[in-house]
Amino acid sequence: MPKLTDYVKMAAEDYLEETGNTELNARWIAEFFQDGGVQDAYPRQNLVAFAEMVQKELTKHEERAAKKTRLLLDKTIRGIKYPRKS
């Protein structure tokens, strides 16, 4: 049986892939909770708590992507050689 954290990561990845959005949709996560097997594997798990964990994972993903983008932009800007004026 997968760990709860595995379900959280799977839900976050699926949501990002399907929607491209990092703000979790309540209907989507409720369907995933039921149809994805979380409810069966963890019958005592609260849907709201699970949704909060998935939202936290989505936020982490967004922050990592923003950091990576900033680093790539900085690297690109530093790599540009401006022509010297004569």
**Residue 86 has what pLDDT?**
61
Question: Residue ranges per domain, the chain?
Answer: 4-79
Q: Which residue has the tokens 């369907």?
A: 31
Confidence of residue 15 (pLDDT cuts 50, 70, 90): very high
Residue count (the chain): 86
Residues 39 and 33: their CA atoms lie apart, in Å, by 6
Over the stretch 25-79, which tens digit does the pLDDT of each residue have? Answer: 999 999 999 999 999 999 999 999 999 999 999 999 999 999 999 999 988 888 8
68 vs 73: CA distance, rounded Å: 9
- Residues 54, 48 contacting (CB under 8 angstroms): no
Q: Whole-model pTM? A: 0.82
For residue 83, pLDDT over 70 is answered with: no
